[in-house]
Amino acid sequence: MADTIVTLDEVVKRFGDREVLSGVTLSVTRGQVVCLIGASGSGKSTLLRCCNKLEDIDGGTISVFGTDLSGDDVRGELVRRHIGIVFQSFNLFPHRTVLDNITMGPRRALKMVKATAEATALDLLTQFGLAEKAKDYPDRLSGGQQQRVAIIRALAMDPELLLLDEITSALDPELVGEVLDAVRDLARSGMTMILATHEIAFARDVADLVVFLEGGRIVESGPPEQVLVEPREAATRRFLSRYLGDAPT
């Protein structure tokens, strides 16, 4: 039996009157790469944000590493120290250098000593080919570089789970490749990841499980060969044909 680290059971999330998630049930095991696909507004981002308690849920339960996140006594910041998240718009701290962006979490949240945090950060920067950018401010970097720094910032916390929220959607097309390559390497290294993405080909390549969302519900989920190649549901086929054009489905 694989080690289940995330369990969502009938999760409901509302923003005011609008129900964004209407009973989502999903479980993720260690080392699994789960791709959430679906149109904008289908609830992908909200689902990710519920997994690290950036959003509180209105119904159902979420448990991550055995902790029930729906409890009022659960402090979000403690949950988030084990779960990295990377956003569509990078969200680097513009007033801090690349190195400081990466070490802030380890130093402040994890109380790591400065030298250790910086050594770890520099290792990661080297691994991602960004070592020479350590002392630069984020506005000196290209979008692709900024997004890779954002990934490193999340990895520096040594997370057991990484959430990636459409991390290539704000990038120029020629910069998408470098970011996806970084994610592919992470997947190979065994990192557990849930990613919301519009990159269908990429999802087919890296995903262990593909989940198609529509209107806050899971319409279909399964291995990529099934959901992306021979979808059972008409809604999935419609979505894919819109995204892939004439590609065979």
Partner 1 sequence: MTSVTLLVLGAVAIFILSPGAKTFGHYFLNPTIFADTFFGNSAKNLDPMWQAFIKNIEMCLAAEPLVLIWALPVALLRNSPSPLLAGPRLVATAYVDLARGVPLVLVVYAVYFGLPSLNLPFISDRTWFQYGLFCLVFCYGAYVSEVYRAGVQSVPYSQTLAGQAIGLTPFQLNRYVTIPQALRIVVAPLINDFVSLQKDTAIIGIGAGIIEVLKAAQISQGVFFNDTCYVAAGVLFLIICVPLTRLADALQARDQRARLAGAR
193-196/18-29 β-pairing: unpaired
Q: CB-wise, 157 or 180, nearer to partner 1?
A: 157
**If binding means CB under 8 A, how many residues of this protein chain bind partner 1?**
28
CA gyration radius for the chain?
Answer: 18
Which residue in 157, 194, 196, 219 binds partner 1 (CB under 8 A)?
Answer: 157
Taking residues 95 to 114 in sequence order and writing x for each that binds partner 1 by CB under 8 A, - otherwise, the string is x--------xx--xxx----
> Of the listed pieces 74-82, 125-133, 193-201, 206-214, which binds partner 1 according to CB under 8 A?
74-82
Asked whether 104 and 93 are in contact (CB, 8 A), the reply is: yes
Burial class (CB in 10 A: 0-12, 13-18, 19+), 74: middle
The number of residues in the chain equals 249
Q: By CB under 8 A, tell whether 154 contacts partner 1.
A: yes
Q: CB-wise, 109 or 113, nearer to partner 1?
A: 109
Query: How many CB atoms neighbour CB 132 within 10 A?
Result: 10
Q: By CB under 8 A, tell whether 144 contacts partner 1.
A: no
Asked whether 217 and 23 are in contact (CB, 8 A), the reply is: yes
Considering only residues 32-71, where is the footprint of partner 1 by CB under 8 A?
Answer: 52, 54
Q: By CB under 8 A, tell whether 167 contacts partner 1.
A: no
Q: By CB under 8 A, tell whether 90 contacts partner 1.
A: yes
Q: How far apart are CA 35 and CA 187, in angstroms?
A: 12
Q: By CB under 8 A, tell whether 247 contacts partner 1.
A: no
Asked whether 222 and 37 are in contact (CB, 8 A), the reply is: no
Classified as helix, coil or strand, 190 is coil
Considering only residues 111-140, where is the footprint of partner 1 by CB under 8 A?
Answer: 137-139
Q: By CB under 8 A, tell whether 16 contacts partner 1.
A: no
The three-state (H, E, C) secondary structure of 100-156, written as one string = HHHHHHHHHHCCCCHHHHHHHHHHHHHHCCCHHHCCCCHHHCCHHHHHHHHHHHHHC
Q: By CB under 8 A, tell whether 72 contacts partner 1.
A: no
Q: By CB under 8 A, tell whether 235 contacts partner 1.
A: no
Which residue in 81, 147, 211, 228 binds partner 1 (CB under 8 A)?
Answer: 81
Cα torsion for 244, 245, 247, 249, to the nearest 10°? 70
Q: By CB under 8 A, tell whether 85 contacts partner 1.
A: yes
Shortest approach of partner 1 to residue 3 CB, angstroms? 23
- Residue 45 belongs to what H/E stretch? helix 44-51
User: Which residues are near partner 1 by CB under 8 A?
Assistant: 52, 54, 76-78, 80-81, 84-85, 87, 89-95, 104-105, 108-110, 137-139, 153-154, 157
